[in-house]
């Protein structure tokens, strides 16, 4: 009996030791386990409330998981069905939709845009004539950032496109690269013209339904599910909720550029489809040649318009496909695209020669751990661990944050002290208009000037120096801006200027503004 007991104890101890060793070995050698632990640590280090990470390789799902919470301070967890904004990773879907029209012979990439949108004009008539469908997707039209039309205005999509004729070019057609959301709106309108179906309906019927993406929504206005993440922003080292449906909904005006919402349970199908020549479970969304065109380098991307991560990944070349950024990484080509809206982030990355893709979504504004998790996935599941990208990128972006604080202090040092406004505050009160950028209402509240820009951005103005004021927004996520008034020769405030835009006092416009062309 004693011998049997002794044997039992020895066997039990051996099993416990063997199990512990096996578990330890699995933790050390299993890449999914290592990557999962890496994500958990990165979420803590970057103070991200909630995150999803999805990894597919060789047609199989390696990881599909949620981390953290949907809303800071609340217990509801992020899971594989939690909806997050795709933001600009939507662009690849819009490009694919146009590719379907190419496959059907209804469109060519190099067709003149004017053939489909005869009323769409840019500032230079010659550029309007020469603009091709391809140009709408690769940020080389010569038009600079025009996000004010949807991020700081409430105007319909067609009006956004109409006002593009007033935006002066930043460079010549196809002579540079400046990221441009509004051109993707134009691409969506081309899609509607050739298909007879609005972009949001087309993307549902031609991408979401064939791929069984049942929870995915084309527009923020359709997101009514309680299992959705809320946006957050870090202010003075404190993460705060951005509780503003209006802010989130503004992107619907340029839906083809970034309005889709999705979750890990759905996005796996899109990831696999884009890795496998436009095919998914026996269904073919795109012909092989059209699929290949999406990932063909179309234009070079300048250093100034690429991601700061280049300082550490040191790519030899940087290009843009049809809805995809591209660079070399450790001797391989990668295709990727980020998505950023107020309080929301995403990234979709591919290592195509390894049939590997990763998709990350989070609910903290510009949380750049997204890049770290993408590169770590490439290392972990294909190329072999190289370095701790989370630590490296946190140091890199932390340096940028410190640099921004120094720049703000330097700007503060330019303030001329002990000055006063040229006029009594009541003399600045009024409505200031721009035929392009809307209106600004300046009022007086409790002895201070108060401003409303297009009834979207509001805040109080504190005197800075002379006729310049610091605008502190009620919407804390917008931060602060310096605004100024311009006086005419009679000493009357006639112009309101902020973030490079000018608004003329209503009584002084005489119904004039930018001439119709």
Token code pair at residue 436: 């392009």
pLDDT for res 4: 52
In sequence order, what E strands does 87-241 have? 232-235, 238-241
Least confident stretch, 17-21, 176-180, 283-287: 17-21
Tokens of 363: 């609910």
Which CATH number fits the domain 32-108+193-405, given the four candidates 3.40.50.2300, 3.90.1150.10, 3.90.470.20, 3.40.710.10? Answer: 3.40.710.10
Half-sphere exposure of 152 toward its Cβ, with a 13 Å CA cutoff?
Answer: 19
Phi, psi (degrees; rounded to nearest 5) at 284: -120, 115
Question: What is the mean predicted confidence (pLDDT) over 245-268?
Answer: 94
Distance of CA 246 to the CA centre of its chain: 17
CA distance 264 to 361: 9
Distances (CA, A) of 108 to 138, 441, 446: 15, 46, 60
- pLDDT of 2 over the 60 cut: no
Domain ranges of the chain: 32-108+193-405, 425-509
Helix 31-46 / helix 369-378 crossing angle, nearest 10 deg: 170
**Is a pLDDT exceeding 90 seen at residue 365?**
yes
CATH placement of domain 425-509: 2.40.128.50
pLDDT at 419: 96
Q: How far is CA 215 from the centre of its chain?
A: 20
Half-sphere exposure of 457 (CA within 13 A, CB side): 23
Confidence check: pLDDT of 204 > 50: yes
Whole-number percent of the chain with pLDDT over 70:
92
Rounded distance, CA 16 to CA 514, Å?
80
If phi over 0 gives left and psi between -120 and 50 gives alpha, with beta otherwise, what is residue 143?
A: beta
Q: Give the span between the Cα atoms of 213 and 267, in whole angstroms.
A: 7
Residue 315, pLDDT above cutoff 60: yes
**Per residue in 500-517, pLDDT tens?**
899 999 865 433 333 332
Judge contact between 475 and 481, C-beta under 8 A. no
Distance CA 229, CA 77 (A): 9
Percent of the chain with pLDDT over 90: 87
Apex 368 CA angle, 46 and 183, nearest 5: 150
Of 151-160, 411-420, 498-507, give the range with the top mean pLDDT.
Answer: 151-160
């Amino acid at each position: 009996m004693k011998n049997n007991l002794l044997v039992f104890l020895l066997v039990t101890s051996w099993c416990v030791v063997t199990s512990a060793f096996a578990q330890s070995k699995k933790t050390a050698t299993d890449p999914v386990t290592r990557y999962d632990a890496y994500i958990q640590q990165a979420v803590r280090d970057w103070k991200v409330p909630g995150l999803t990470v999805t990894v597919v390789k060789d047609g199989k799902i390696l990881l599909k998981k949620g981390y953290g919470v949907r809303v800071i301070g609340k217990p509801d967890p992020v899971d594989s069905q939690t909806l997050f904004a795709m933001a600009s990773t939507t662009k690849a879907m819009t490009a694919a939709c146009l590719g379907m029209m190419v496959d059907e012979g209804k469109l060519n990439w190099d067709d003149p845009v004017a053939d489909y949108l005869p009323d769409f004009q840019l500032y230079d008539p010659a550029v309007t004539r020469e603009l091709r469908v391809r140009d709408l997707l690769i940020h080389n039209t010569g038009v600079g950032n025009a996000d004010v039309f949807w991020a700081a205005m409430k105007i319909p999509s067609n009006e956004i496109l109409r006002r593009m004729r007033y935006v002066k070019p930043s460079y010549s057609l196809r002579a540079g690269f400046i990221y441009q959301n509004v051109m993707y709106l134009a691409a969506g309108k081309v899609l509607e013209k050739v298909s007879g179906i609005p972009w949001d309906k087309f993307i549902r019927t031609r991408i979401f339904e064939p791929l069984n993406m049942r929870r995915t929504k084309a527009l923020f206005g359709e997101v009514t599910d309680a299992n959705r993440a809320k946006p957050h922003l870090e202010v003075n080292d404190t993460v705060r909720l951005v509780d503003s449906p209006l802010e989130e909904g503004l992107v619907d005006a340029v839906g083809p550029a970034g309005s889709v919402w999705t979750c890990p349970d759905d996005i796996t199908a899109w990831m696999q489809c884009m890795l496998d020549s436009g095919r998914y479970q026996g269904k073919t969304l795109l012909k092989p040649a059209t699929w290949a065109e999406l990932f063909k380098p179309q234009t070079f991307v300048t250093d100034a318009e690429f991601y700061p991560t280049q300082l550490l990944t040191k790519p030899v070349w940087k290009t843009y496909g049809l809805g995809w950024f591209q660079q070399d990484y450790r001797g391989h080509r990668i295709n990727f695209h980020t998505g950023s809206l107020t309080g929301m982030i995403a990234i979709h990355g591919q290592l195509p020669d390894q049939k590997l893709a990763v998709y990350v979504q989070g609910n903290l504004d510009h949380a750049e751990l997204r890049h770290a998790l993408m590169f770590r996935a490439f290392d972990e599941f294909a190329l072999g661990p190289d370095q701790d990208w989370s630590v490296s990128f946190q140091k890199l972006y932390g340096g940028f944050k410190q640099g921004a604080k120094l720049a703000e202090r330097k700007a503060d040092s330019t303030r001329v002290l002990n000055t006063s406004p040229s006029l009594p505050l009541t003399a600045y009160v009024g409505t200031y208009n721009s035929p392009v950028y809307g209106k600004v209402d300046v009022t007086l509240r409790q002895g201070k000037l108060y401003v409303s820009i297009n009834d979207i951005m509001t805040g109080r103005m504190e005197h800075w120096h002379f006729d310049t004021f610091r605008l502190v927004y009620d919407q804390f996520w917008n931060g602060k801006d310096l605004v100024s008034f311009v006086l005419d020769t009679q000493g009357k405030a006639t112009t309101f200027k902020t973030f490079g835009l000018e608004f003329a006092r209503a009584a002084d416009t005489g119904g004039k503004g930018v001439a119709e062309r």
